[in-house]
DNA sequence: CGAATGCATGAAACCGGTTACATCTATTTG
DNA sequence: CAAATAGATGTAACCGGTTTCATGCATTCG
């Protein structure tokens, strides 16, 4: 059923039918009612491509996420989807699966499919990859720590400050041997986390042990393995700062498997504050990141560009908050520990 | 940059350019090389709508999921995405958010956007909702327990058998007071789980206490609340069978909060075997469901219909497996417990 | 009462591709 | 050597809409 058939049934021209759909006020009431009745009867919906072809707009946005099974990204993704849905856009979910080639392939797809804009979550693409998108004039917003800064608007957190605060907390309690596990992925966020960690030690005047800084995959498994290796030796760390809750879960598992207690023998602190961090035993201390909000802001920024042409580049930094739970000690316990 | 401009630059007709893109063998080598060079230089990609308009195909599928933050659905979704991506399709991720209206709205969007097919995960739509899709001749495959059976192909598990096996295990160990928490959502799967539970009791000749069957929301929070209510009274259940790991986590949390031990005081068993079930303390006994595989099979079924027109309706039932871990006792312990 | 204005509608161009068919040239065949 | 055939390319119709512009009609105004 196409617009011509509807027009024929109604005994009018296609132009009139099209007007009913797009500019109802420009059509006489009688005619409009008649046409609308037929449209409803036939359950006619205008062909989306044909419309897109005219409008040069698809009403869809691309959403690139590093991994679909990681709750951190999914919470951000939900923020994006919430806003997009509410504004009538549909979201192409692109699961890059931590694979740069797949991410590039999906980006090319987005361009081919003429999405109205793209939200990139924690992307690892290079400047050159973005240049393609720029040439095509497709608006892009970055959420979370990208690798290079290609001059797009960005929503993020201050990872350096957050990591510094968390590390400082551990030092303040009295821990001196604090290991840090950070994702291998080369993004600003990860680099900043390490900078913050170092900064905290520097300010406290405590010497850093380089062998305590480990770059690993951001997975439960790698957290487990790295922690196990570190903890099973004598004289291991007093505390482990895993810069994602995901890794922290693995760390906790490894520590427990070694027959050590958390936090009495080894304290653990995470990063992200995903729902589960409050569910494991003991409850995980972590850095609260406003994941959902980051997605929401990212999508809003994008739709601002798409709909209002508001192309000024903005850099939005949201607040993090240190959440102290059971898995690391409290300040009051200084002295009783070492 | 459109096909006409490319044609002009190459000094050929648009038909020839189009042929280079779609039927390269039908073009002389010289001409082809020249045109391909220009296409590459200009980074020309044919307009997707225009192509879709001709082919009446979009190369995209819709994926409806009940909730984007639930790892159960996301593992299935990943299975779907894996297959779709590999076959060159792109996936519209529709997050119904456990809201029937939103699900319907997304379904309408899918129809409007002329997706080539739809995978519905654990849908709660009614027969009448599907009739619309059927009229439009859009292939649909159901994954997991839908509400009604509208005559589409389906990939699922035998929930009745799985629930029965799990319940039987608890009874065999010696538990008599086994509570069951089941999602409120009205799907075949949930109904079947309860049937299986009853069946196990019936076969064992143990009387069922109706007050032990609770329909709750499939969330950690509701699992927590329901368990707390049940456990804080004297003479509560010996064991709780939560028919999702999600709810089981809440149950575990509540039991621990009441100062009771798992499994010594209250045993817990879940359903789904999501990654985290092996990470909580104690590790959760659960029913392993091949979530990823279900998604993969669902997508394959759909693409079979789309690409090969293979429209025979199939009902694929995958195997579950009871995973006994720490959170419930083993058979050997019969007798020592009560 | 004739001209000007406004409103509703239709004809046709257009969006950017694909392809059936026509045309032209070069090669093969009888 | 003329006719048949194959191969390369162009012309124009078409996919299903939207929109500009022209047209016809009724109403308003001088």
The mean pLDDT of B145-162, rounded to a whole number, is 88
pLDDT at B324: 95
The mean pLDDT of B159-168, rounded to a whole number, is 97
pLDDT at B331: 53
How far, in Å, is the CA of A19 from the C1' of nucleotide C16?
23
- Answer whether residue A323 shows pLDDT above 70: yes
pLDDT in tens, B4-23: 999 999 999 999 999 999 99
pLDDT at A334: 42
pLDDT band at A330 (very low <50, low <70, confident <90, very high): low
Q: How far, in whole angstroms, is CA A324 from its chain's centroid? A: 23
Q: Is A53 left (phi over 0), alpha (psi -120 to 50) or beta?
A: alpha
Tokens of B276: 């985290």
Residue of A nearest to B75 (CA): A69
pLDDT in tens, B244-270: 999 999 999 999 999 999 999 999 999
- Answer whether residue A148 shows pLDDT above 80: no
Q: Does B175 touch chain A (CB under 8 A)?
A: no
The mean pLDDT of A158-183, rounded to a whole number, is 95
H/E segment holding residue A257:
helix A245-257
pLDDT in tens, A119-142: 999 998 988 889 889 989 999 999
- Answer whether residue A170 shows pLDDT above 50: yes
pLDDT at A243: 97
CB B251 within 8 A of CB B181: yes
Tokens of A184: 């291998």
Which nucleotide is the nearest neighbour of A22, by CA and C1'? D18
- Min Cα distance A136 → chain B (Å) is 10
The mean pLDDT of B35-40, rounded to a whole number, is 96
pLDDT band at A331 (very low <50, low <70, confident <90, very high): low
pLDDT at B335: 41
Q: In what order do the strands lie in the sheet with B213-216?
A: B213-216, B178-183, B239-242, B267-269
Who among A48, A77, A93 is closest to B112 (CB)? A48
pLDDT at B233: 84
Residue of B nearest to A250 (CA): B279
pLDDT at A58: 95
Q: How many CB pairs under 8 A join A and B?
A: 101
- Min Cα distance B255 → chain A (Å) is 12
The mean pLDDT of A220-244, rounded to a whole number, is 94
How far, in Å, is the CA of B16 from the C1' of nucleotide D7?
14
pLDDT in tens, A272-295: 999 999 988 899 999 999 999 999
Selection from B316, B209, B328 nearest residue B277 by Cα: B328
CB A242 within 8 A of CB A213: no
- Answer whether residue B146 shows pLDDT above 80: no
Q: Does B29 touch chain A (CB under 8 A)?
A: no
Q: Is A318 helix (H, G, I), strand (E, B) or coil?
A: strand
pLDDT at A233: 84
pLDDT band at B122 (very low <50, low <70, confident <90, very high): very high
Determine the Cα–Cα distance for residues A122 and A73; give it in Å rounded to an integer: 8
- Nucleotides, chain C, CB distance < 7 Å: 7-12, 14-20
Q: Which span out of A77-81, A144-148, A280-284 was modeled with the highest average pLDDT?
A: A77-81
Calculate what percentage of chain B has a pLDDT beyond 70: 97
Between these two residues, B227 and B333, which has the higher pLDDT value? B227
The mean pLDDT of A60-85, rounded to a whole number, is 97
pLDDT band at B334 (very low <50, low <70, confident <90, very high): very low
How far, in Å, is the CA of A114 from the C1' of nucleotide D20?
26
Kindly report the length of chain A.
Answer: 338
pLDDT at A149: 73
Out of A277-286, B65-74, B195-204, pick the least confident: A277-286
Q: Does A114 touch chain B (CB under 8 A)?
A: yes
Asked whether strand C has any atom less than 7 Å from the CB of B4, the reply is: yes
Determine the Cα–Cα distance for residues B334 and B173; give it in Å rounded to an integer: 5
Query: What is the DSSP track for A86-143?
Result: HTT-EEEEEE-TT-HHHHHHHHHHHHHTT-SEEEEES----HHHHHHHHHTT--EEEE
- Min Cα distance A151 → chain B (Å) is 22
Q: CA–CA distance from B329 to each of B168, B261, B277, B299 (Å)? A: 13, 12, 16, 38
CA atoms within 13 A on the CB side of A329: 24
Which nucleotide is the nearest neighbour of B16, by CA and C1'? D9
| Mean pLDDT value across chain A | 93
Q: A41, A90, A119: best mutation site toward chain B, by most B Cβ within 10 Å?
A: A90
pLDDT at B337: 42
How far, in Å, is the CA of A20 from the C1' of nucleotide C7?
15
pLDDT at A127: 87
Tokens of B316: 């694929």
Rg (CA), chain A: 26
Q: Which chain A residues are within 8 Å of B94, Cβ to Cβ?
A: 90
Residue of B nearest to A281 (CA): B281
- Buried-exposed string B159-195: b where 16+ CB fall within 10 A, e elsewhere: bbbbbbbbbbbbbebbbeebbbbbbebebbbbebbbe
Asked whether strand D has any atom less than 7 Å from the CB of B4, the reply is: no
Backbone φ and ψ of A274, nearest 5°? -75, 160
pLDDT at B147: 75
- Answer whether residue B332 shows pLDDT above 70: no
Q: Inter-chain contact B68–A58, Cβ cutoff 8 Å?
A: no
Who among A78, A95, A112 is closest to B81 (CB)? A95
Q: Is A301 helix (H, G, I), strand (E, B) or coil?
A: helix
- Answer whether residue B96 shows pLDDT above 60: yes
Q: Does A54 touch chain B (CB under 8 A)?
A: no
For chain A, what percentages of helix, strand and coil (3-state, to nearest 5) are there? 50, 15, 35
Out of B36-45, B117-126, B324-333, pick the least confident: B324-333
Q: Name the pairing type of β-strands B286-288 and B321-323.
A: antiparallel
Q: Inter-chain contact B68–A81, Cβ cutoff 8 Å?
A: yes
Determine the Cα–Cα distance for residues A287 and A72; give it in Å rounded to an integer: 13
Asked whether strand C has any atom less than 7 Å from the CB of B55, the reply is: yes
Out of A133-147, A235-249, A266-280, B102-116, pick the least confident: A133-147
Q: Which chain A residues are within 8 Å of B78, Cβ to Cβ?
A: 68-69, 95
pLDDT at B132: 87
CA atoms within 13 A on the CB side of A321: 5
């Amino acid at each position: 059923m196409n617009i011509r058939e509807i027009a024929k049934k109604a005994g009018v021209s296609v132009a009139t039918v099209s007007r009913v759909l797009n500019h109802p006020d420009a059509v006489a009431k009688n005619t409009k009612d008649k046409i609308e009745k037929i449209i409803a009867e036939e359950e006619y919906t205008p062909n989306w491509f044909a419309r897109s072809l005219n409008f040069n707009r698809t009403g869809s946005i691309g959403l690139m996420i590093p991994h679909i099974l990681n709750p951190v990204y999914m919470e951000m993704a939900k923020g994006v989807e919430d806003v997009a849905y509410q504004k009538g856009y549909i979201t192409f979910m692109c699961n890059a699966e931590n694979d740069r080639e797949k991410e590039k392939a999906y980006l090319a797809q987005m361009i081919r499919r003429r999405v109205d804009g793209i939200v990139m979550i924690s992307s690892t693409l290079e400047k050159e990859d973005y240049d393609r998108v720029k040439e095509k004039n497709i608006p892009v917003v970055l959420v979370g720590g990208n690798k290079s800064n290609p001059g797009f608007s960005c929503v993020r957190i201050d990872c350096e400050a957050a990591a510094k605060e968390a590390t400082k907390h551990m030092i303040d309690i009295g821990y001196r041997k604090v290991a840090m596990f950070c994702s291998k992925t080369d993004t600003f966020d990860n680099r900043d986390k390490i900078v913050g960690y170092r900064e905290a030690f520097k300010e406290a005047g405590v010497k850093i042990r380089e062998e305590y800084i480990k770059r690993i995959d951001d997975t439960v498994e790698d957290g487990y393995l790295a922690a196990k290796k570190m903890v099973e030796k004598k004289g291991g760390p007093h505390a482990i700062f895993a810069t994602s809750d995901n890794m922290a879960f693995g760390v906790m598992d490894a520590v427990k498997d070694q027959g050590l207690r958390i936090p009495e023998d080894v304290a653990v602190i995470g990063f992200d504050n995903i729902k589960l961090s409050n569910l494991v035993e003991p409850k995980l201390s972590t850095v609260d990141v406003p994941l959902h909000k980051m997605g929401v802001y990212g999508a809003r920024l994008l739709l601002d560009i798409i709909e209002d042409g508001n192309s000024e580049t903005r850099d939005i930094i949201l607040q993090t908050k240190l959440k102290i739970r059971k898995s690391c000690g409290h300040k009051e316990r200084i002295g009783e520990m070492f």
